[in-house]
């Protein structure tokens, strides 16, 4: 495993620098490094690290979500309001509708198979989107209208919604009826996740404050370790409570970080956010290289032009969904276009569940995996590049940032 980690860090950073020199997002190089190192090309990664790949990817995602939560002002999030709630499910619904309408004609699948495919592809990737939105918050772009906060909140809930739909549709494809309670789990999972995280954040804030008052100074590095450990427990709660009640572990992580920021001294929360920013430098490499390693490149050849056409049609539907969410807001046309671009990237969810229909023996399994792989290879680089190249032109920079 140690040799595999060496390959991941060194080759991942090398490919990231090559992508950067080609004026492409660094994650493009990391994804390509993972594909090349992975079991479907050179097969240089130890099976033991691939066996825990899902856990490592989740740990990396937790780190960037903690940094995001420590950078979000709850007042800004409250100001976003209705659009943030709609962004959690409306764009994904529109994209799934696109697959339901067109996939049977373009890819020759049944309606229920089209629904399964849509549920696999429809989730936006927090791993691609969140670090970019955090960077925008730090630099002041879109901050006045809370655009990065809106996208972080929506993208974090979007995955919960889509995965529940995926479970329902795969059950229907296997011949079982859809469980209505499964759909009720969506709001329950989101609400309980936020409440659980906020409670954990409040308790940690009290403990840190009490230690300070008693003269026990806890270093920010130690605080970051404690917060990380609690985050892992929150995510674990999702599995522990499975079958009893649905809780979104990732939303709990964001909720905890937001509460810590709200209850802590601004300087302390800023320093903690910086600590997680440094951790993200290593976590980012692990995350995207392992996502690339999970991509079965063999299926891209079998996907063909029809899959590419279907992906682009579905993205058009998704874009209309984003525009609908932003109706009656103060956003300019440029800002709405940016939100559309920021909601395009797909990677983590598709890599995690793209092969599930094939493993379940569904007739659509191979084509679903093919389209999922193609969606990652097209939208992750394109969406990341679109965000990186357009935010200065499409978003306004906060006046206070300019003054500073």
pLDDT of 234 higher than 90: yes
Q: Which residues pair with 397 in a beta bridge?
A: 141
Digit-coded pLDDT (tens) for 35-54: 999 998 999 999 999 888 88
Mean pLDDT of the chain: 88
pLDDT of 153 higher than 50: yes
175: left (phi over 0), alpha (psi -120 to 50) or beta: left
- If we measure between CA atoms, which residue out of 84, 131, 74, 151 comes closest to residue 395? 151
Digit-coded pLDDT (tens) for 68-85: 888 887 777 677 788 988
| Average confidence (pLDDT) over 115-138 | 92
pLDDT of 179 higher than 70: no
43: helix, strand or coil: coil
pLDDT of 341 higher than 80: yes
209 Cβ contact partners less than 8 Å away, ≥ 6 residues apart: 263
- If we measure between CA atoms, which residue out of 322, 186, 205 comes closest to residue 245? 186
- Taking the C-alpha atoms of residue 332 and residue 353, their distance in angstroms, rounded to an integer, is 36
Question: CA-CA distances (angstroms) from residue 212 to 102, 209, 217, 260, 268?
Answer: 60, 5, 5, 15, 12
- Any idea what DSSP says for residue 219? P
398: left (phi over 0), alpha (psi -120 to 50) or beta: beta
The dihedrals phi and psi of 400, each to the nearest 5 degrees, come to -65, -35
346: left (phi over 0), alpha (psi -120 to 50) or beta: beta
- pLDDT attached to residue 233: 96
Range in 145-154, 180-189, 272-281, 347-356 with the lowest mean pLDDT: 180-189
Digit-coded pLDDT (tens) for 326-335: 998 899 999 9
- For residue 401, what pLDDT band results from cuts at 50, 70 and 90? very low
pLDDT of 182 higher than 80: no
Range in 3-12, 157-166, 192-201 with the lowest mean pLDDT: 157-166
| pTM (two decimals) | 0.84
- For residue 402, what pLDDT band results from cuts at 50, 70 and 90? very low
pLDDT of 220 higher than 90: no
Q: Which of 11-25, 72-86, 168-182, 332-346 shows the highest mean pLDDT?
A: 332-346
The dihedrals phi and psi of 273, each to the nearest 5 degrees, come to -60, -40
| Average confidence (pLDDT) over 268-273 | 87
Q: Which of 96-105, 138-147, 205-214 shows the highest mean pLDDT?
A: 96-105
Range in 106-115, 356-365, 395-404 with the lowest mean pLDDT: 395-404
- Residue 3: other Cβ atoms inside 10 A: 11
| Average confidence (pLDDT) over 10-18 | 96
pLDDT of 32 higher than 60: yes
Tell me the helix, strand and coil percentages in the chain, rounded to 5.
80, 0, 20
CA atoms within 13 A on the CB side of 296: 18
- Taking the C-alpha atoms of residue 99 and residue 351, their distance in angstroms, rounded to an integer, is 19
């Amino acid at each position: 495993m140690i040799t595999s980690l060496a390959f991941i860090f060194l080759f991942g950073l090398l490919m990231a620098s090559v992508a950067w020199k080609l004026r492409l997002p660094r994650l493009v190089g990391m994804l390509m490094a993972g594909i090349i190192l992975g079991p479907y090309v050179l097969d240089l990664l130890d099976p033991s690290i691939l066996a825990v790949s899902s856990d490592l990817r989740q740990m990396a995602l937790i780190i960037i979500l903690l940094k995001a939560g420590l950078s979000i002002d709850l007042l800004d999030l409250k100001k976003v309001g209705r659009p943030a709630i709609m962004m959690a499910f409306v764009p994904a619904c529109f994209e799934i509708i696109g697959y339901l309408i067109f996939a049977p004609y373009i890819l020759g699948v049944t309606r229920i198979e089209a629904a399964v495919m849509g549920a696999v592809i429809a989730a936006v990737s927090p791993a691609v989107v969140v670090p970019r939105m955090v960077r925008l918050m730090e630099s002041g772009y879109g901050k006045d209208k809370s655009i990065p906060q809106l996208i972080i909140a929506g993208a974090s809930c979007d995955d919960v919604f889509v995965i529940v739909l995926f479970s329902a549709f795969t059950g229907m494809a296997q011949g079982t009826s859809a469980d209505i309670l499964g759909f009720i789990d969506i709001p329950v999972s989101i609400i309980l996740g936020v409440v659980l995280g906020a409670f954990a954040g409040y308790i940690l804030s009290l403990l840190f404050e009490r230690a300070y008052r008693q003269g026990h100074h806890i270093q920010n590095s130690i605080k970051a370790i404690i917060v990380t450990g609690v985050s892992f427990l929150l995510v674990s709660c999702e599995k522990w409570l499975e079958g009893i009640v649905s809780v979104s572990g990732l939303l709990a992580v964001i909720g905890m970080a937001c509460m810590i920021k709200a209850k802590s001294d601004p300087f302390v929360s800023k320093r903690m956010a910086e600590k997680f920013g440094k951790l993200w430098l290593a976590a980012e490499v692990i995350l995207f290289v392992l996502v690339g390693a999970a991509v079965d490149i063999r299926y891209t050849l079998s996907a063909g032009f029809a899959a590419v056409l279907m992906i682009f049609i579905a993205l058009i539907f998704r874009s209309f969904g984003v525009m609908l969410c932003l109706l009656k807001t103060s956003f300019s046309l440029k800002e709405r276009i940016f939100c559309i671009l920021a909601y395009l990237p797909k990677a983590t969810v598709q890599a995690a569940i793209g092969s599930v229909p094939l493993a379940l023996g569904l007739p659509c399994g191979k084509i679903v995996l093919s389209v999922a792989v193609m969606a990652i290879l097209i939208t992750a680089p394109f969406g990341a590049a679109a965000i990186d190249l357009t935010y200065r032109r499409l978003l306004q920079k906060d006046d206070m940032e300019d003054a500073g």
